[in-house]
Amino acid sequence: MALFIYLLGFLNDLQQEYLPRNIKIDWLRFQVESTSTRMIRSFMHILHLPFEKKQPQMVDARDTNILALNKVWHEVYEFQGSLIGAHYAPVNDNSNPSRYFVDLNGATLSGLSTETLCMLLLAAQCEDRFIANRIDIALDFPLQSPRLSARYWESFIDDGMLAGYRSVSRVMSRGGSRPGTTVYLGSRESDRFVRIYDKNIDGVDYDRLEVEFKRTRADWIMRQIVAAPAADLPGLLNGVVCGAIAFRRSRDDVDFFKNYSYGPVSVPAVQLHLDIERSIAFIQKHSATYAMLEEFMGSEKYDKFMRSVLAAGKLRMKPRHRSMIENARFLGLTAAGIFFIFLQQTSGAVASGFSCPIVPVTEPVGLLGSQMAQKFPIDIMMPTPAEQTFLNQVGDGCFQINSGLNFDKICLPGMIVNALKPFVIMGLGIKFIFSD
């Protein structure tokens, strides 16, 4: 009889259809104590992102301290919401080392290669003291019926089926930037806090299981990221997240989670989303509104209206707007890059993208400019005198393309995108010559 039950369970496992999933680190925060006063420069060199020094917000200009993470720091640098800070030890006082922190959000982590992340953690763990504060790991699953957030998590807690959690809350949103349902398991102050919610990525719906680890749990995970073999790391992180959901016994309404616990793991391709790209996407999203205003006002009044709006906007630009421009320029977002934003498609990367321990990197990795160069073979150069004369004759904002019979003049952005599509698909090189 026991053999029959074992064989029956084995056959059930063979018939189980495990779900594929994408894995990503969605938040990373740690602190370091070190006798070195150059850790800020080391972190910024590894990340190779244009972090900008924040200015004090206090009334007294003599007080140069910055408040961040509920503590006071001597220096804080910011990039799109991610922060790096330092609290320096008193001069000639070796008994009190300097303290540093790194706080990276999901948008910044999406633009970092695994090699960069491993190098950052390795550099931090080699200092006098490494303090892990928080790491969020997320799994995105294809939609199932019912959705993961629609399961009866409240009854699992009430019946004592779910180990390690005593509380559950559910939030339903029908509007705003992220409509859908979110389920929270556990306490936000505990070492492990689970979020289950509906996620839309590039127009595709997913079920996201995300776990926020803190303190000792976060410390173990961050050290494993550096120490684990490259081939084992995606599976290890997947096990850490799925292991946070443990049912005490089998039951018909909980056995569904076996599909989520196991399955092929994919690591999304490195893709840095700049704030200026979001602004461009915002304009595109509201294109119908602009078209409505133009049709109502007429072209002449609409152009005059838009010029006045732009003039007023330039007077109202703040330092954060200037930072967005400088970040885009630093990371290689040129005029050609803006056109390609609407053509790029996200491609998945296999789990072998992880490689730790890391090796020294001789040139920046994970930058938007290098990604574009790999996806689209573009050669950008300044015009020669003869080319400059030709461009002056063609006109600003235009270029000519050989359609097979003759050279056609193309000026409008929409025409440019449509003209470039066949070249992008075929993978042919395109030579852009930009003129002031």
Helices (H), ranges, 231-376: 233-242, 258-261, 275-285, 287-297, 299-316, 319-330, 335-341, 368-375
Stretch 203-219: mean pLDDT: 95
Radius of gyration of the chain (CA): 26
Structure tokens at 5: 């039950």
pLDDT at 375: 38
| Residue spans of beta strands (DSSP E) within 110-203 | 129-142, 168-173, 180-185, 192-201
Stretch 110-138: mean pLDDT: 93
- In this predicted structure, the answer to whether residue 147 has a pLDDT above a threshold of 70 is yes
- In this predicted structure, the answer to whether residue 73 has a pLDDT above a threshold of 70 is yes
Query: How many CA within 13 A on the CB side of residue 427?
Result: 2
Higher pLDDT, residue 379 or 308: 308
Stretch 368-377: mean pLDDT: 38
Going by C-alpha positions, the residue among 260, 135, 273 that lies closest to residue 207 is 260
| Mean of per-residue pLDDT scores for the chain | 76
Higher pLDDT, residue 335 or 301: 301
- In this predicted structure, the answer to whether residue 369 has a pLDDT above a threshold of 60 is no
| DSSP single-letter state for residue 182 | E
Stretch 124-142: mean pLDDT: 95
Rounded Cα distance between 268 and 23, Å, is 7
Residue 320: other Cβ atoms inside 10 A: 11
- In this predicted structure, the answer to whether residue 358 has a pLDDT above a threshold of 50 is no
pLDDT at 341: 46
Structure tokens at 207: 């079920």
Cα separation values, 404 from 172, 401, 407, 421, Å: 56, 9, 8, 16
Whether the CB-CB separation of 29 and 136 falls below 8 Å is answered with no
pLDDT at 18: 87
pLDDT at 352: 39
Residue 271: other Cβ atoms inside 10 A: 15
pLDDT at 332: 64
Per-residue pLDDT band at 114 (split at 50, 70, 90):
confident
Whether the CB-CB separation of 128 and 97 falls below 8 Å is answered with yes
Per-residue pLDDT band at 57 (split at 50, 70, 90):
low
- In this predicted structure, the answer to whether residue 351 has a pLDDT above a threshold of 70 is no
Residue 263: other Cβ atoms inside 10 A: 18
- In this predicted structure, the answer to whether residue 46 has a pLDDT above a threshold of 70 is yes
Structure tokens at 197: 């919610």
**How much of the chain, in percent, has pLDDT values that exceed 90?**
41
Rounded Cα distance between 200 and 116, Å, is 27
Per-residue pLDDT band at 315 (split at 50, 70, 90):
confident
Count, residues in the chain = 436
Query: What backbone phi and psi angles, to 5 degrees, belong to 214?
Result: -135, 165
Going by C-alpha positions, the residue among 230, 222, 270 that lies closest to residue 355 is 230
Q: Which string of b and e fits 275-306 if b means at least 16 CB within 10 Å?
A: bbbeebeeeeeeeeeeeeeeeeeeeeebeeee
Tens digits of residue pLDDT in 245-300? 999 999 999 999 999 998 999 988 888 777 667 777 778 778 888 888 888 888 88
Stretch 310-320: mean pLDDT: 80
Q: Which string of b and e fits 423-433 if b means at least 16 CB within 10 Å?
A: eeeeeeeeeee
- In this predicted structure, the answer to whether residue 354 has a pLDDT above a threshold of 60 is no
Going by C-alpha positions, the residue among 401, 353, 342, 347 that lies closest to residue 374 is 347
pLDDT at 320: 72
- Lowest mean pLDDT, pick from 33-47, 152-166, 211-225, 295-309: 295-309
Going by C-alpha positions, the residue among 406, 290, 274, 278 that lies closest to residue 329 is 274
Going by C-alpha positions, the residue among 344, 204, 370, 347 that lies closest to residue 267 is 347
Query: How many CA within 13 A on the CB side of residue 227?
Result: 8
Rounded Cα distance between 59 and 63, Å, is 8
Amino acid, single-letter form, for residue 181: T
| DSSP single-letter state for residue 18 | P
Amino acid, single-letter form, for residue 60: D
- In this predicted structure, the answer to whether residue 180 has a pLDDT above a threshold of 50 is yes
